[in-house]
Each structure stands twice: as structure tokens, then as C-alpha cells.
């Protein structure tokens, strides 16, 4: 396995509200916090740390899809409770995109508009679906994918961890193949760098570190309006 992660504040924000867990060979998580003052940073940090702790102490190792779901639900409860208890944290929440690798089996759990991509045979496939207003508009046919990229409400989420006492978590599983690459990233990357360019960069650089460095640099050069976090994991025989 080759893997590398990087998080960058970007060119505009004063704080980095992204958090991530990089724990090869099994657990990888990205989270993009939201909320006033430092609440977004608190939410994303609480989210990833709760998930890591839950997975570490998990008593059902045979069902990692359900384990990831339960971990995210627990993160939701902890973030929501803190938001209700502290006025400065009211309304805070975070996206979560998590992967657990168990041999050839790749399990994932997801809430929000951070993303998991699979790069296989020179193709880029988005595994997760965005929980956002513009994604709903695209799915309904109200706007095109191209219009969604510049829509004034493209940052409005329809689902986030910690903003409600209950949460619906998307989960899934697929079988990895040799030379597959997984990309977990926040929207600070995908809002700044097109999927075409993301694929081109990932194919151009042999080592994940080089690819991640270039992705983050390109997002910053394109404006860096948000925090940027990316993890690339490559599986080899």
C-alpha cells in the first residue's frame, strides 16, 4: 500500500476547519466542519476522533459497513450534544467521508459533500453522492452539472453530521483491485479543480504524495477559497 494525506488552510480562510484521520492500512476519514467562530473546527475534529475511537474499540469486526455507520451516528450524537450545550457551538456540524479497508474489501460511510472517488483503469468514478441542494437540483433535472458548479447555493448541505439529533448515513462496499487508487477529499478541492484535472493529476504522478501535493497546490492556485484536504490510497499486489 502507498498512501499520503495533506490538509491546507487555502488562500482565504483564517482557520482550517477540515480534519482527517490517516491510519494505514485500514482507516481513512476526511471531514469539513461548519459553524461560527471555531465551531466548524471543533465539529470536524470531534467527528473524526469519535469515529477513530469507535472503530478502534469495535466489537463486531465482521461487519465493517455497519461499524462505520454506527461510528458516524455516534459522532453525530456527540457533536449535537455539544452544540446544544454551548451557545458558541450552536448549529455546528461537519461532513464525514470514511473508508475502512479490510484486505480487498473497501467499506465506506458518508454524510455531506466531501467525496470518495475510485480511480481504476484510467477512469475516475465518484463513489459517494453529495448531500447538497445543488445535487438535488441536478438529480431532478432543474439544473445541469455545469450549472451546479457555479450555482450561488452550491455550498448548502441537505445533510450534515451534528446538526440534528438523528442522521441518515450512506454506506457501501466494493472490492479493490491491484493499482486502484482511492481519493478522499473535501469540497475545497472539488470546487476548485475539475474532475478531468483531478484524474489527469492522479494519473500523471506515480506516488500518492506527489499527486496529493499537486492537487492541493492546484486548488490553491485556482483561488483556494476554502480549506483543502485530500487523501490518496493506492493498493498494490
Per-residue cell: 233: 490510497
Check whether 156 has a pLDDT greater than 90. no
pLDDT at 60: 66
pLDDT at 70: 96
Distance, CA of 184 to chain centre: 5
Distance CA 147, CA 158 (A): 18
Count of domains observed in the chain: 1
Element (H, E) at 163: none
Check whether 98 has a pLDDT greater than 80. yes
Q: What percent of the chain has pLDDT over 70?
A: 98
Per-residue cell: 182: 482511492
Q: pLDDT, tens digit, for every residue of 172-194?
A: 999 999 999 999 999 999 999 99
Check whether 232 has a pLDDT greater than 70. yes
CB contact at 8 A, 55 and 100: yes
Q: What is the mean pLDDT of residues 161-182?
A: 96
Q: pLDDT, tens digit, for every residue of 122-144?
A: 999 999 999 988 888 877 888 77
Check whether 30 has a pLDDT greater than 70. yes
At 59, which CATH number? Answer: 3.60.40.10
| Structural domain containing residue 85 | 2-234
Q: What percent of the chain has pLDDT over 90?
A: 81
Check whether 9 has a pLDDT greater than 80. yes
| Residue 36: pLDDT band with limits 50, 70, 90 | low
Q: List, in order, residues 6 or more apart from 167 with CB less than 8 Å away.
A: 72, 73, 76, 111, 159, 161
Check whether 6 has a pLDDT greater than 80. yes
Highest mean pLDDT among 55-64, 147-156, 187-196: 187-196
pLDDT at 7: 98
Check whether 37 has a pLDDT greater than 80. no
Rounded to whole angstroms, what are the CA distances from 35 to 8, 92, 147?
19, 4, 26
CB contact at 8 A, 31 and 94: yes
Distance CA 23, CA 100 (A): 10
Average pLDDT over the chain, rounded to whole?
Answer: 93
SS3 of residue 138 by DSSP: helix
| Residue 196: pLDDT band with limits 50, 70, 90 | very high
| Residue 146: pLDDT band with limits 50, 70, 90 | confident
- Alpha-carbon dihedral of residues 129, 95, 198, 214, nearest 10 degrees? -170
Quick one: three-class SS letters along 82-99? HHHHCHHHCCCEECEEEE
| Residue 224: pLDDT band with limits 50, 70, 90 | very high
Q: Give the pTM.
A: 0.94
Q: Which residues pair with 132 in a beta bridge?
A: 157
Amino acid at each position: 500500500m502507498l498512501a499520503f494525506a495533506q490538509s491546507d488552510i487555502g488562500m482565504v480562510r483564517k482557520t482550517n476547519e477540515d480534519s482527517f484521520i490517516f491510519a494505514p492500512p485500514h482507516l481513512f476519514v476526511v471531514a469539513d466542519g461548519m459553524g461560527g467562530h471555531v465551531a466548524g473546527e471543533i465539529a470536524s475534529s470531534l467527528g473524526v476522533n469519535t469515529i477513530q475511537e469507535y472503530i478502534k474499540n469495535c466489537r463486531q469486526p465482521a461487519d465493517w459497513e455497519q461499524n462505520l455507520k454506527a461510528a458516524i451516528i455516534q459522532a453525530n450524537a456527540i457533536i449535537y450534544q455539544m452544540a446544544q450545550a454551548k451557545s458558541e457551538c450552536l448549529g455546528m456540524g461537519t461532513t464525514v467521508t470514511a473508508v475502512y479497508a479490510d484486505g480487498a474489501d473497501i467499506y465506506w460511510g458518508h454524510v455531506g459533500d466531501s467525496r470518495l472517488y475510485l480511480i481504476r483503469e484510467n477512469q475516475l468514478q465518484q463513489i459517494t453522492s453529495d448531500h447538497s441542494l445543488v445535487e438535488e437540483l441536478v438529480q431532478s433535472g432543474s439544473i445541469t452539472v455545469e450549472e451546479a458548479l457555479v450555482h450561488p447555493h452550491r455550498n448548502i448541505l441537505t445533510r450534515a453530521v451534528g446538526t440534528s439529533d438523528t442522521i441518515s448515513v450512506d454506506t457501501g462496499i466494493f472490492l479493490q483491485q491491484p493499482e486502484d487508487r482511492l481519493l478522499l477529499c473535501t469540497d475545497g478541492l472539488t470546487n476548485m479543480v475539475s474532475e478531468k484535472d483531478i484524474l489527469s493529476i492522479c494519473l500523471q504522478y506515480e506516488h500518492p504524495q506527489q499527486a496529493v501535493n499537486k492537487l492541493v497546490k492546484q486548488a490553491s492556485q485556482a483561488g483556494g477559497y476554502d480549506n483543502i484536504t485530500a487523501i490518496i490510497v493506492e493498493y498494490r499486489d
